[in-house]
Chain A
Amino acid sequence: MISRHVQGWLMAAPLTLVLAVFLLAPIVMIVVVSFWGATEWSIYPAFLWDNYDFLLTSKVTYQVFFNTFKYAAITWACTLLIGFTVAYYLAFHIRSTTWQIALFLLCTIPFLTSNIIRMISWIPFLGRNGLANSTLLSWGVIDAPLEWLLFSDFSVILAFVHLYTLFMVVPIFNTMMRIDPALIEAATDAGASGWQTLRHVVIPLTKPGIMIGTIFVLALVMGDFITVRFMSGSQSANVGRMIQNDIGLLQYPSASATAVILLITVLLLIGTLLRFVDIRKEL
């Protein structure tokens, strides 16, 4: 008989191994490489601060980080607004569980196709001679095609919102379903209007779900590069694009340093958010 102590370690071993090999080791590797040196044609092991020095003193870095934050903030605001509304409708206005499940599944249907397909399908819609422009032209709303519909910040954020709103809907819906309907009645009984109930009862009780959705959306948008590349027509940059460019030029040390800074930024951001809301009861 193996002692309980050893049994515990054995049971934890597979997950520990997976996390060690696929999460910890790569991060350690990235951190190590971020200190290496590089020339135009080679990279060599070293312990240099050059990569960070270059990164943190370059104006471009701050512009790109600012752009990344801008995408994250606007996407967050839009997904939160849409996600909260959808979740609220599903949780409080649909009475039957069957319909709730049916409509919820309907929300997930877009996810049956790949990210990239969903993204690319915006292009014929938003292009200069696309559906949106030709429709608006034929209605006489505009005289010339709108240039900012595609390959702009607008299209990047539109794609982000389209891709990631469900990550906001799911946790918020989940939290809302746990709100006792009697609480809403109790608020009505106390004379609260619909808005007051929303502000003083529903939103405070939905905070953990909002926070989990926020973490999803922020992490996804901050780490994205493909959406920005496709939807901006390679005209805008975010941190992910910066890393991708470096990798394309085989500048691994520089890419690693950027990745480390991005990782620290996102961790700090999420750490700060978690100080405000206790999400433990959701897990």
Chain B
Amino acid sequence: MTLKPDLELVSLVKRYGETVAVDGISYHFDAGTYACLLGPSGCGKSSTLRMIAGHESVSDGAVLLGGRDVSHLPPAKRGTAMMFQNYALFPHLSVRDNVAFSLKMQGTDATTRKSRANEMLELVDMLPLADRLPAQLSGGQQQRAALARALITKPEVLLLDEPLSALDPFLRIKMRAELRKLQRELGITFIHVTHGQDEALALADEIVVMNNARIEQAGATRTVFEAPKTAFVARFLGSHNVVTMPEGKIAIRTDALRIRPAGAARLPATVTAIEYQGTHVALTASIPGDQEVTALLSDRDFFDAPKMEGEAIGLDWDAQEAHALAG
């Protein structure tokens, strides 16, 4: 097996007239990584993906794949393949013809096309539905067909643009497990754009959190989650409280907060809401400076010493759980 190439973005810029959609981002993706570009809509994550794919011109900077500058190559010559947000399956072609489309464009003969397409459909478990039209498939089946179509060109990098957003929540969880499994099997780099933090955490080896056309923070998923560097990242990843303390802003995980008697803790607080979530109880409290924090307690801890709305409590945490934030 040949060595899979790595993907590097070098000061990548995308301008639309006056507006800057992507503002000089640089990042190195190791080969065989599952990476998520995470951020709110309009943060530039889709433009970044489309520049890697070649569907958007690069205003400045470069996209390097295995050290080769592919910034100005047409999409099909880059070694990347893209899976589109609504799958973009050709509605007039059967699933098999959709999958075999790129081979047909290359002029591969019909027999080879069919057998290669069948192999790909086998991989995604869609062989029995090969003769159907896209309109006759469910959302999950359409996604598998789109995956097979993207993978038939044997790309080194698969680019997925919000691949799960068109699915219902149940199917989303199922498909995300399948994506992860497929990526492990193929061992190629997946770059997955999403605005869902749960999706990113569940799938990614590495996450790149973007905001306002820039990278806020990037790195191994756990590293980023455990130590967010900015208030934006802490809030966007969820499960964190951003608290302004006299020494500056800090991030504390919701499950790191401990309830103490009033007066015997770092912060005095008043309970404002209690939400039972089965295994956990989310307790929202207001703290000085008109701020709200959420403490996630295990149901046992909470019901051993239940609190009422309006009750005065104290909030405490271990010093190493607090992360100082920049901005």
A residues contacting B by CB (< 8 A) are 180, 182-183, 185-193, 196, 200-201, 204-205
Question: Are the C-beta atoms of B105 and A190 separated by less than 8 Å?
Answer: yes
Task: Tell which of A186, A193, A196, A204 touches B84, judged by Cβ atoms closer than 8 Å.
Answer: A186
Residue of B nearest to A193 (CB): B105
1/0 per residue, CB under 8 A from A, across B74-104: the answer is: 1111000110111011111000000001101
| 9 A–B contacts from the bound complex (CB under 8 Å) | A182-B88, A183-B91, A186-B84, A189-B53, A189-B55, A189-B76, A189-B81, A190-B105, A191-B102
Measured between beta carbons, the chain B residues less than 8 angstroms from A204 are 92
Centre residue among B74, B101, B106 by max chain A CB count within 10 A: B101
- Number of A-B pairs, beta carbon distance below 8 Å: 63
Interface residues of B: mostly helix, strand, loop or mixed?
mixed
Question: How long is the Cα–Cα vector from A18 to B3 in the complex, in angstroms?
Answer: 75
Q: Known contacts A191-B76, A191-B153: does B105 contact A186 (CB below 8 Å)?
A: no
Residue of B nearest to A182 (CB): B88
Question: Are the C-beta atoms of A189 and B92 separated by less than 8 Å?
Answer: no
Task: Tell which of A186, A192, A200 touches B88, judged by Cβ atoms closer than 8 Å.
Answer: A186
Task: Tell which of B82, B89, B104, B106 touches A189, judged by Cβ atoms closer than 8 Å.
Answer: B82
Q: Known contacts A196-B105, A200-B104: does B76 contact A190 (CB below 8 Å)?
A: yes
The 9 closest A-B pairs by CB, nearest first: A191-B76, A190-B102, A182-B88, A186-B88, A192-B105, A204-B92, A189-B75, A182-B84, A191-B105
B residues contacting A by CB (< 8 A) are 53, 55, 74-77, 81-82, 84-86, 88-92, 101-102, 104-106, 149-150, 153
Question: How long is the Cα–Cα vector from A192 to B103 in the complex, in angstroms?
Answer: 10
Instruction: Give B13 Cβ to nearest chain A Cβ, in Å.
Output: 21
Question: Are the C-beta atoms of A188 and B101 separated by less than 8 Å?
Answer: no
Task: Tell which of B74, B85, B104 touches A182, judged by Cβ atoms closer than 8 Å.
Answer: B85
Task: Tell which of A183, A185, A192, A193 touches B55, judged by Cβ atoms closer than 8 Å.
Answer: A185
Question: Are the C-beta atoms of B88 and A185 separated by less than 8 Å?
Answer: yes
Instruction: Give A95 Cβ to nearest chain B Cβ, in Å.
Output: 11
Q: Known contacts A185-B55, A188-B55, A189-B82: does B90 contact A201 (CB below 8 Å)?
A: yes
Measured between beta carbons, the chain B residues less than 8 angstroms from A186 are 82, 84, 88-90, 149
Measured between beta carbons, the chain A residues less than 8 angstroms from B74 are 188, 191
Question: Are the C-beta atoms of B75 and A188 separated by less than 8 Å?
Answer: yes
Question: How long is the Cα–Cα vector from A52 to B212 in the complex, in angstroms?
Answer: 78
Measured between beta carbons, the chain B residues less than 8 angstroms from A192 are 76, 101-102, 105
Residue of A nearest to B86 (CB): A182
Task: Tell which of B92, B101, B153 touches A187, judged by Cβ atoms closer than 8 Å.
Answer: B101
Residue of B nearest to A185 (CB): B55
Centre residue among A182, A192, A201 by max chain B CB count within 10 A: A182
Question: How long is the Cα–Cα vector from A190 to B153 in the complex, in angstroms?
Answer: 8
Instruction: Give B100 Cβ to nearest chain A Cβ, in Å.
Output: 10
Question: How long is the Cα–Cα vector from A60 to B223 in the complex, in angstroms?
Answer: 89
Measured between beta carbons, the chain B residues less than 8 angstroms from A193 are 105
Measured between beta carbons, the chain A residues less than 8 angstroms from B106 are 191
Measured between beta carbons, the chain A residues less than 8 angstroms from B77 are 191
Given contacts A188-B55, A191-B106, A201-B90, list 7 more A-B pairs with CB under 8 A. Answer: A182-B86, A182-B88, A188-B74, A188-B75, A190-B149, A192-B76, A192-B102
Question: How long is the Cα–Cα vector from A192 to B77 in the complex, in angstroms?
Answer: 11
Question: Are the C-beta atoms of B101 and A190 separated by less than 8 Å?
Answer: yes
Instruction: Give B146 Cβ to nearest chain A Cβ, in Å.
Output: 9
Measured between beta carbons, the chain B residues less than 8 angstroms from A185 are 55, 75, 82, 84, 88
Measured between beta carbons, the chain B residues less than 8 angstroms from A190 are 76, 101-102, 105, 149, 153
Residue of B nearest to A207 (CB): B92
Measured between beta carbons, the chain B residues less than 8 angstroms from A183 are 88, 90-91
Measured between beta carbons, the chain A residues less than 8 angstroms from B101 are 187, 190, 192, 200
Residue of A nearest to B101 (CB): A190
Q: Known contacts A188-B75, A189-B76, A191-B76: does B105 contact A180 (CB below 8 Å)?
A: no
